[in-house]
Amino acid sequence: MGKGNDIGFKEKLGYGLGELAGTANAIIAAFLTMFYTDSMGMAAGAVGTMFFVSKLFDGITDLIAGNIVDKTKTKWGKARPWLLWLSVPTGLALALIFWVPQNGSSTAKLVYAFVTYNLFMAVMYTMVGVAKSALMPLMTQDGLGRAALAKYSLIFGLGGAILGCSMTFPFIFAMGGDIRAWRIVFMIYGAVVTVGLLLSFALTRENVQSVESAVSKSGKVEKMSFIEGIKNFCKNKYFVFALAMNVVVNIAVQINSGSQTYFYTYAMGDAMLTTSLNMVSLIPTVLGIMFLAGPCLKKFGKKKSIYIGATGQIIGYALRGFAAVTMNIPMLAAGTVICGLATGPLSVPVNTLSADAVDYGEYLTNKRIEGIGSSVITFSQKVSGGLAAGMVGWILALTGYVANEVQSAATNFGITFMFAWLPIILLVITIISFKFVYRYDQEEAEVIAELNRRKNRK
C-alpha cells in the first residue's frame, strides 16, 4: 500500500485536476493587476499594497486550514472531502473577484477588491489548496510515484495556466473586450474549477497508513494540537527548506507571469504576443514535465535535477531579457522554448519537497502532519503570488507607469527587469540553497525503510 506502482492513471488524472484552482490563481496573478489598473482605473501602488496586505492575512488562514485537514476524519479520508465540499463555493468566489463596482468610488473599489480577492484566495483556495497538496503524501510514499503525481499536477497547473494566459485576452476580446467580457470569461473559469475539484474528489483515494494507526490496536490516532503541529513543522529542516524553496521558485515564475502582459504590451509593443508566446511555451513546457523530469530524477536525483532545470531557465530568461533590448522576436521565442523545456526538471522535484518532509517528520516524531505540512505549498504559492503581484504594482508606480500610454525608458526597464532579470537572481539563489542545505536524496531510503519497520512492529 502506498507504493508508486499502486497509483494508476485515474488517480494521477484526479490529482492533476485538483490543481485547476491553482491554475485559476496563476491566471489571476497574470491578469488581475492589469484588470484593476487599466479596466477599473485603480492606482497601481494601491493595488500592489492591497495584494501584499492580503498575503499577511492569507498566511494565517493557511496554517488554520492545515490544522483543520489534520483533524478531519471521514469515510473519504482527511483531505479528499474538502475538494467536494468547497468545489462550488470556490468557483463562485473566483467569479466574484471581477464584479468590482464600475461606478464606485476609489475606496469602494479597493474595499470590494480586498474582500472578494481574500474570499477566493484566503478562504476557498486556501482550504482546497491545502487539501489537494495533502493528498500527495496520503496517496503514496514512493518517490517516483510522487514525482508522477507532481507531473500531472504541473500539467494541469502550469500547463493549464500557460494555456489560460494564452486564451484569456483573445477570449475577452471575442466577448467584446469590456468589463462585461472580463466577468463572463472568469465566470466560465469558475465553472471549470468547480468541475475539476469534483472530479478530483471522485477519482483519487487516500492509501497511506501512518505508523500510529498501523501499530494501534484500535487503528485510532491521537489528535495533534495546533501548537504541537506547528512545533513539529518548525523543527523539521526539510519542511522549512520546502517552504523557502517553494517561495523563491514561485516568485521567479509569478513575477515573470505577472509582468508579462505589461512586457509584451509596452516593452515589446504588441499585446497579442501574450497569446502567441504563451502558446509557443506550452508544448515545450508539457514535454519538459512529461519526458525530461522523470529521466532526470531517476538518473541524477532531486538535487542535480534542480541544477539542470534552474540552469536551463536562467539561460532562457537571459535570452528573453536581451531580446527586449534588441527587439528580437526570434530570440524571445528561443528563450521562451528553453524556459519551457527546463520547467519539468526544476518544478517536479520542487513540488515533491513537502511530501518528502511529511515522511521525514514522521521519522523524527512518529507523527504525520499532511495538513499543516502541505500548507507549505499553498502558503508559498499565495505568498509568492502576492509578493509578485505587489512587486509588479510597486515597480510600475516607482518607475512612473501611466496606463494605456507610451511608457518611459525607466518604466520599460522596470518591466523587463521583472520579466527576465529578477527571475534569474532568484534561480541562482535556488541553486546555491540546494547545494549547501539539501541532503534528503541520501537520506530517503533509510527514512522509508525505518517507517516500514515501525509499521511491522505489532
Domains and CATH numbers, the chain: 9-204+224-455 (1.20.1250.20)
Contact 47, 223 (CB under 8 A): no
Higher model confidence: residue 37 or residue 305?
305
Q: Is the pLDDT of residue 3 over 50?
A: no
**Angle value at C-alpha 246, between 376 and 164, nearest 5 degrees:** 100
Q: Is the pLDDT of residue 87 over 90?
A: yes
Q: pTM of the predicted model, to two decimals? A: 0.77
Q: What is the pLDDT of residue 221?
A: 63
Q: What is the pLDDT of residue 2?
A: 39
Mean pLDDT of 25-33: 86
What lies within 8 Å, CB to CB, of 372 at 6+ separation is 63, 66, 67, 69, 70, 226, 229, 230, 232, 233
Mean pLDDT of 415-426: 97
Q: What is the pLDDT of residue 458?
A: 55
Q: What is the pLDDT of residue 220?
A: 62
Q: What is the pLDDT of residue 205?
A: 94
Q: Of 61-75, 339-353, 411-425, which range is least confident? A: 61-75
Q: What is the pLDDT of residue 282?
A: 85
Higher model confidence: residue 108 or residue 210?
108
CB atoms near residue 391 (< 10 Å): 21
Q: Is the pLDDT of residue 337 over 70?
A: yes
**Residue 96 vs residues 82, 93, 390, 415: alpha-carbon distances, Å:** 21, 5, 21, 29
Q: Is the pLDDT of residue 228 over 90?
A: no
Average pLDDT value for the chain: 90
- pLDDT tens across 94-127, in order? 999 999 999 899 999 999 999 999 999 899 999 9
Q: What is the pLDDT of residue 375?
A: 77
Q: Which of 126, 115, 22 is nearest to 64 (CA)?
A: 126
Q: Of 11-15, 48-52, 151-155, 211-215, which range is least confident? A: 211-215
Band of residue 1 on the pLDDT scale cut at 50, 70, 90: very low
Quick check: helix, strand or coil at residue 74?
strand
Mean pLDDT of 150-174: 89
The conformation of residue 456, written as its DSSP 8-state character, comes to: T
- pLDDT tens across 350-379, in order? 989 998 999 999 999 988 888 888 776 677
Q: What is the pLDDT of residue 215?
A: 63
Q: Is the pLDDT of residue 254 over 90?
A: no
Mean pLDDT of 415-424: 96
Contact 365, 371 (CB under 8 A): no
**Angle value at C-alpha 169, between 121 and 400, nearest 5 degrees:** 75
Q: Is the pLDDT of residue 267 over 50?
A: yes
Mean pLDDT of 370-395: 79
Contact 358, 368 (CB under 8 A): yes
Contact 317, 209 (CB under 8 A): no
